[in-house]
Structure 1
Amino acid sequence: MVPPDEDTVTILLVEPNPGDSRLFTESFADASIASDIHTVADGDAALDFVHQRADHAESPRPDIVLLDFQLPTVSGEDVLSELKSEPELRSIPVIVLTSSDSEEDIARSYDLHANAYLQKPVDPDEFVDLVRSFEEFWLTFVRFPRDNE
Protein backbone atom coordinates (compact mmCIF):
# COMPACT_ATOMS: atom_id res chain seq x y z
CA MET A 1 0.00 0.00 0.00
CA VAL A 2 1.37 3.38 -1.02
CA PRO A 3 1.33 6.05 1.69
CA PRO A 4 -1.43 8.52 0.89
CA ASP A 5 -0.59 12.04 -0.22
CA GLU A 6 -2.83 15.07 -0.33
CA ASP A 7 -4.31 13.97 -3.69
CA THR A 8 -5.16 10.49 -2.40
CA VAL A 9 -8.47 9.87 -0.70
CA THR A 10 -8.45 7.47 2.26
CA ILE A 11 -11.48 5.19 2.13
CA LEU A 12 -12.70 2.90 4.87
CA LEU A 13 -14.75 0.08 3.35
CA VAL A 14 -16.85 -1.68 6.01
CA GLU A 15 -17.93 -4.85 4.24
CA PRO A 16 -18.49 -8.31 5.76
CA ASN A 17 -18.56 -10.16 2.42
CA PRO A 18 -15.00 -10.91 1.22
CA GLY A 19 -16.20 -11.23 -2.40
CA ASP A 20 -17.81 -7.78 -2.34
CA SER A 21 -14.71 -6.32 -0.66
CA ARG A 22 -12.55 -7.74 -3.42
CA LEU A 23 -14.89 -6.42 -6.14
CA PHE A 24 -14.85 -2.91 -4.67
CA THR A 25 -11.08 -2.89 -4.23
CA GLU A 26 -10.45 -4.23 -7.75
CA SER A 27 -12.97 -1.80 -9.25
CA PHE A 28 -11.20 1.15 -7.61
CA ALA A 29 -7.85 -0.14 -8.92
CA ASP A 30 -9.28 -0.70 -12.43
CA ALA A 31 -10.67 2.84 -12.44
CA SER A 32 -7.20 4.18 -11.50
CA ILE A 33 -8.64 6.15 -8.61
CA ALA A 34 -6.00 7.68 -6.33
CA SER A 35 -7.23 6.01 -3.17
CA ASP A 36 -5.91 4.28 -0.11
CA ILE A 37 -8.58 1.67 0.69
CA HIS A 38 -8.75 0.01 4.10
CA THR A 39 -11.25 -2.80 4.62
CA VAL A 40 -12.78 -4.09 7.83
CA ALA A 41 -15.44 -6.77 8.11
CA ASP A 42 -17.50 -5.81 11.16
CA GLY A 43 -18.84 -2.91 13.17
CA ASP A 44 -16.38 -3.27 16.05
CA ALA A 45 -13.41 -3.04 13.69
CA ALA A 46 -14.99 -0.06 11.91
CA LEU A 47 -15.32 1.84 15.19
CA ASP A 48 -11.77 0.88 16.21
CA PHE A 49 -10.51 2.15 12.85
CA VAL A 50 -12.21 5.56 13.00
CA HIS A 51 -11.25 6.00 16.66
CA GLN A 52 -7.69 4.83 15.87
CA ARG A 53 -7.61 2.32 18.70
CA ALA A 54 -6.73 -1.35 19.31
CA ASP A 55 -5.38 -2.99 16.11
CA HIS A 56 -6.05 0.24 14.22
CA ALA A 57 -4.16 2.66 16.48
CA GLU A 58 -1.84 3.59 13.57
CA SER A 59 -4.57 3.76 10.94
CA PRO A 60 -5.20 7.01 9.08
CA ARG A 61 -8.40 8.94 9.59
CA PRO A 62 -10.66 8.05 6.64
CA ASP A 63 -11.80 10.79 4.27
CA ILE A 64 -14.92 8.76 3.50
CA VAL A 65 -16.61 5.63 4.85
CA LEU A 66 -18.43 3.09 2.67
CA LEU A 67 -20.65 1.28 5.16
CA ASP A 68 -22.70 -1.88 4.77
CA PHE A 69 -25.68 -1.86 7.13
CA GLN A 70 -25.72 -5.66 7.58
CA LEU A 71 -22.69 -6.20 9.82
CA PRO A 72 -21.71 -8.75 12.46
CA THR A 73 -21.04 -7.52 16.02
CA VAL A 74 -22.04 -3.82 15.96
CA SER A 75 -24.63 -3.06 13.25
CA GLY A 76 -23.99 -0.61 10.44
CA GLU A 77 -26.84 1.48 11.82
CA ASP A 78 -25.05 1.72 15.18
CA VAL A 79 -21.73 2.55 13.48
CA LEU A 80 -23.42 5.35 11.51
CA SER A 81 -25.15 6.65 14.61
CA GLU A 82 -21.87 6.82 16.54
CA LEU A 83 -19.97 8.46 13.69
CA LYS A 84 -22.56 11.17 13.26
CA SER A 85 -23.02 11.79 16.99
CA GLU A 86 -19.36 12.51 17.74
CA PRO A 87 -18.18 16.03 16.83
CA GLU A 88 -14.67 14.93 15.79
CA LEU A 89 -16.06 12.27 13.42
CA ARG A 90 -19.31 13.69 12.06
CA SER A 91 -17.62 15.53 9.19
CA ILE A 92 -16.53 12.23 7.64
CA PRO A 93 -18.94 11.46 4.78
CA VAL A 94 -20.63 8.09 5.22
CA ILE A 95 -22.12 6.32 2.22
CA VAL A 96 -24.39 3.43 3.15
CA LEU A 97 -23.71 0.70 0.61
CA THR A 98 -25.99 -2.26 1.12
CA SER A 99 -28.01 -4.87 -0.71
CA SER A 100 -31.21 -3.76 1.04
CA ASP A 101 -33.79 -1.76 -0.88
CA SER A 102 -36.03 -1.46 2.18
CA GLU A 103 -37.67 1.95 2.46
CA GLU A 104 -37.25 1.66 6.24
CA ASP A 105 -33.47 1.16 5.87
CA ILE A 106 -33.23 4.10 3.47
CA ALA A 107 -35.23 6.39 5.75
CA ARG A 108 -33.30 5.23 8.83
CA SER A 109 -29.96 5.90 7.09
CA TYR A 110 -30.89 9.47 6.30
CA ASP A 111 -32.42 9.96 9.76
CA LEU A 112 -28.97 9.05 11.11
CA HIS A 113 -27.37 11.58 8.72
CA ALA A 114 -25.89 9.27 6.10
CA ASN A 115 -24.53 11.32 3.22
CA ALA A 116 -25.93 8.88 0.65
CA TYR A 117 -27.61 5.48 0.38
CA LEU A 118 -26.56 3.22 -2.49
CA GLN A 119 -27.80 -0.25 -3.27
CA LYS A 120 -24.96 -2.66 -4.09
CA PRO A 121 -24.96 -3.97 -7.64
CA VAL A 122 -25.81 -7.62 -8.18
CA ASP A 123 -23.78 -7.98 -11.40
CA PRO A 124 -19.99 -7.76 -10.91
CA ASP A 125 -19.69 -5.57 -14.04
CA GLU A 126 -22.01 -3.06 -12.40
CA PHE A 127 -19.46 -2.62 -9.59
CA VAL A 128 -17.14 -0.89 -12.07
CA ASP A 129 -19.99 1.43 -13.15
CA LEU A 130 -20.79 2.19 -9.51
CA VAL A 131 -17.15 2.96 -8.72
CA ARG A 132 -16.82 5.21 -11.78
CA SER A 133 -19.94 7.15 -10.82
CA PHE A 134 -18.63 7.29 -7.25
CA GLU A 135 -15.36 8.70 -8.57
CA GLU A 136 -17.11 11.25 -10.78
CA PHE A 137 -19.09 12.70 -7.90
CA TRP A 138 -17.42 11.97 -4.56
CA LEU A 139 -13.80 12.11 -5.64
CA THR A 140 -13.98 14.79 -8.33
CA PHE A 141 -16.47 17.37 -7.11
CA VAL A 142 -16.79 16.88 -3.36
CA ARG A 143 -14.24 18.56 -1.08
CA PHE A 144 -13.18 16.79 2.11
CA PRO A 145 -11.95 18.38 5.32
CA ARG A 146 -8.29 17.68 6.04
CA ASP A 147 -6.80 17.17 9.47
CA ASN A 148 -4.57 20.01 10.63
CA GLU A 149 -1.78 17.69 11.68
Structure 2
Amino acid sequence: MTSSVRPILLIEDDQVDVLATRRALKEIHVDNPLVVCENGEQGLAWLRDAAEPPCLVLLDLNMPVMNGIEFLEHVKCDERLRRIPMVVLTTSEEMADKVRSFDLGIAGYMAKSLDYRRFVEVMRSIDAYRTIGGQA
Protein backbone atom coordinates (compact mmCIF):
# COMPACT_ATOMS: atom_id res chain seq x y z
CA MET A 1 0.00 0.00 0.00
CA THR A 2 1.24 3.48 -0.81
CA SER A 3 1.73 6.15 1.81
CA SER A 4 -0.83 8.44 0.20
CA VAL A 5 -4.26 8.98 1.72
CA ARG A 6 -6.80 6.70 0.08
CA PRO A 7 -9.74 8.42 -1.60
CA ILE A 8 -13.42 8.28 -0.78
CA LEU A 9 -15.56 7.30 -3.77
CA LEU A 10 -18.89 9.14 -4.00
CA ILE A 11 -21.35 7.69 -6.49
CA GLU A 12 -23.95 10.42 -6.87
CA ASP A 13 -25.73 12.00 -9.84
CA ASP A 14 -27.05 15.12 -8.09
CA GLN A 15 -24.46 17.92 -8.26
CA VAL A 16 -26.04 19.79 -5.32
CA ASP A 17 -25.53 16.67 -3.17
CA VAL A 18 -21.95 16.35 -4.45
CA LEU A 19 -21.23 19.95 -3.40
CA ALA A 20 -22.89 19.44 0.00
CA THR A 21 -20.81 16.29 0.55
CA ARG A 22 -17.57 18.08 -0.35
CA ARG A 23 -18.43 20.96 1.96
CA ALA A 24 -19.44 18.69 4.87
CA LEU A 25 -16.30 16.54 4.55
CA LYS A 26 -14.17 19.68 4.58
CA GLU A 27 -16.04 21.00 7.61
CA ILE A 28 -15.37 17.82 9.62
CA HIS A 29 -11.71 17.87 8.51
CA VAL A 30 -11.69 14.81 6.27
CA ASP A 31 -8.61 15.21 4.06
CA ASN A 32 -9.14 12.20 1.81
CA PRO A 33 -9.59 13.14 -1.83
CA LEU A 34 -13.16 12.73 -3.05
CA VAL A 35 -13.63 10.91 -6.35
CA VAL A 36 -17.09 11.43 -7.86
CA CYS A 37 -18.84 9.13 -10.33
CA GLU A 38 -22.31 9.96 -11.63
CA ASN A 39 -23.74 6.44 -11.66
CA GLY A 40 -23.03 2.88 -10.63
CA GLU A 41 -21.54 1.93 -13.99
CA GLN A 42 -18.92 4.71 -13.76
CA GLY A 43 -18.25 3.83 -10.12
CA LEU A 44 -17.73 0.16 -10.93
CA ALA A 45 -15.36 1.02 -13.79
CA TRP A 46 -13.38 3.36 -11.51
CA LEU A 47 -13.14 0.71 -8.77
CA ARG A 48 -11.96 -1.97 -11.19
CA ASP A 49 -9.28 0.33 -12.66
CA ALA A 50 -8.05 1.76 -9.35
CA ALA A 51 -4.55 0.74 -8.25
CA GLU A 52 -5.80 0.47 -4.67
CA PRO A 53 -9.35 0.57 -3.33
CA PRO A 54 -10.87 3.65 -1.73
CA CYS A 55 -11.22 3.66 2.04
CA LEU A 56 -14.98 4.15 1.66
CA VAL A 57 -17.74 4.26 -0.95
CA LEU A 58 -20.70 6.61 -0.44
CA LEU A 59 -23.53 5.46 -2.67
CA ASP A 60 -26.80 6.99 -3.77
CA LEU A 61 -29.49 4.48 -4.79
CA ASN A 62 -31.56 6.43 -7.30
CA MET A 63 -29.35 7.08 -10.32
CA PRO A 64 -29.60 6.63 -14.08
CA VAL A 65 -27.71 3.99 -16.11
CA MET A 66 -26.90 1.71 -13.13
CA ASN A 67 -28.59 2.41 -9.82
CA GLY A 68 -27.12 1.77 -6.38
CA ILE A 69 -28.72 -1.67 -5.89
CA GLU A 70 -27.40 -2.87 -9.27
CA PHE A 71 -23.97 -1.50 -8.34
CA LEU A 72 -24.01 -3.41 -5.04
CA GLU A 73 -25.02 -6.62 -6.84
CA HIS A 74 -21.93 -6.34 -9.05
CA VAL A 75 -19.62 -5.48 -6.15
CA LYS A 76 -20.84 -8.42 -4.07
CA CYS A 77 -19.77 -10.79 -6.87
CA ASP A 78 -16.27 -9.29 -7.13
CA GLU A 79 -13.85 -10.78 -4.59
CA ARG A 80 -11.49 -7.78 -4.88
CA LEU A 81 -14.21 -5.19 -4.18
CA ARG A 82 -16.66 -6.82 -1.79
CA ARG A 83 -14.82 -5.86 1.43
CA ILE A 84 -14.66 -2.11 0.76
CA PRO A 85 -16.92 -0.36 3.29
CA MET A 86 -19.97 0.98 1.47
CA VAL A 87 -22.50 3.35 2.97
CA VAL A 88 -25.76 4.13 1.22
CA LEU A 89 -26.48 7.85 1.43
CA THR A 90 -29.92 8.35 -0.07
CA THR A 91 -33.31 10.02 0.08
CA SER A 92 -35.03 6.67 -0.44
CA GLU A 93 -37.28 5.74 2.45
CA GLU A 94 -38.33 2.46 0.88
CA MET A 95 -37.90 -0.38 3.36
CA ALA A 96 -37.26 -2.76 0.44
CA ASP A 97 -34.26 -0.62 -0.62
CA LYS A 98 -32.90 -0.69 2.91
CA VAL A 99 -33.32 -4.45 3.30
CA ARG A 100 -31.86 -5.20 -0.14
CA SER A 101 -28.88 -2.90 0.54
CA PHE A 102 -28.07 -4.69 3.80
CA ASP A 103 -28.54 -8.06 2.08
CA LEU A 104 -25.86 -6.91 -0.36
CA GLY A 105 -23.38 -6.18 2.43
CA ILE A 106 -23.46 -2.44 3.05
CA ALA A 107 -21.90 -1.09 6.22
CA GLY A 108 -24.55 1.57 6.77
CA TYR A 109 -27.67 3.23 5.41
CA MET A 110 -28.02 6.96 6.02
CA ALA A 111 -30.81 9.30 4.99
CA LYS A 112 -29.78 12.50 3.26
CA SER A 113 -31.10 15.53 5.07
CA LEU A 114 -32.16 18.72 3.38
CA ASP A 115 -31.00 20.53 6.51
CA TYR A 116 -27.26 21.15 6.05
CA ARG A 117 -26.42 20.94 9.79
CA ARG A 118 -28.10 17.52 9.99
CA PHE A 119 -26.27 16.45 6.83
CA VAL A 120 -22.95 17.40 8.46
CA GLU A 121 -23.84 15.23 11.45
CA VAL A 122 -24.65 12.32 9.11
CA MET A 123 -21.25 12.78 7.48
CA ARG A 124 -19.60 12.91 10.91
CA SER A 125 -21.15 9.53 11.77
CA ILE A 126 -20.03 8.10 8.42
CA ASP A 127 -16.46 9.22 9.15
CA ALA A 128 -15.97 6.15 11.38
CA TYR A 129 -16.42 3.91 8.33
CA ARG A 130 -13.66 5.82 6.53
CA THR A 131 -11.30 5.17 9.40
CA ILE A 132 -12.12 1.46 9.46
CA GLY A 133 -11.81 1.23 5.67
CA GLY A 134 -8.46 2.97 5.75
CA GLN A 135 -7.04 0.09 7.79
CA ALA A 136 -8.21 -2.62 5.40
Same fold (TM over 0.5): yes
AA aligned opposite 2:104: L
Deviation at 1:33, TM superposition (A): 1.2
Matched residue, 1:22: 19
* Maintained 8 Å contact 1:13/1:40: yes
Q: Percentage identity across aligned positions?
A: 27
Q: Distance in 2 between matches of 1:127 and 1:59?
A: 31
In the alignment, structure 1 segments of 5+ residues that lack a partner are: 53-57
* Maintained 8 Å contact 2:6/2:53: no
In the alignment, structure 2 segments of 5+ residues that lack a partner are: none
AA aligned opposite 2:47: V
Matched residue, 2:84: 92
**Structure 1 position 31 matched with structure 2 position 28:** yes
3-state SS, counterpart of residue 7 of structure 2: strand
The one of 81, 96, 109 aligned to 1:104: 96
AA aligned opposite 1:109: S
Which piece of structure 1 moves more, 73-82 or 58-67? 58-67
Shift in alpha-carbon separation, 1:38–1:71, aligned structure 2, 3 A: same
AA aligned opposite 1:74: M
RMSD: 1.9
Deviation at 1:11, TM superposition (A): 0.5
The one of 119, 125, 128 aligned to 1:133: 125
Larger Rg: 1
Shift in alpha-carbon separation, 1:41–1:59, aligned structure 2, 3 A: farther
TM-superposition CA deviations, 1:29-87 (whole Å, max 9, x none): 111112111111112211111111xxxxx675312110101011011111111111110
Matched residue, 2:42: 45
Deviation at 1:143, TM superposition (A): 4.9
* Maintained 8 Å contact 1:95/1:118: yes
Deviation at 1:97, TM superposition (A): 0.9
Aligned residues: 135
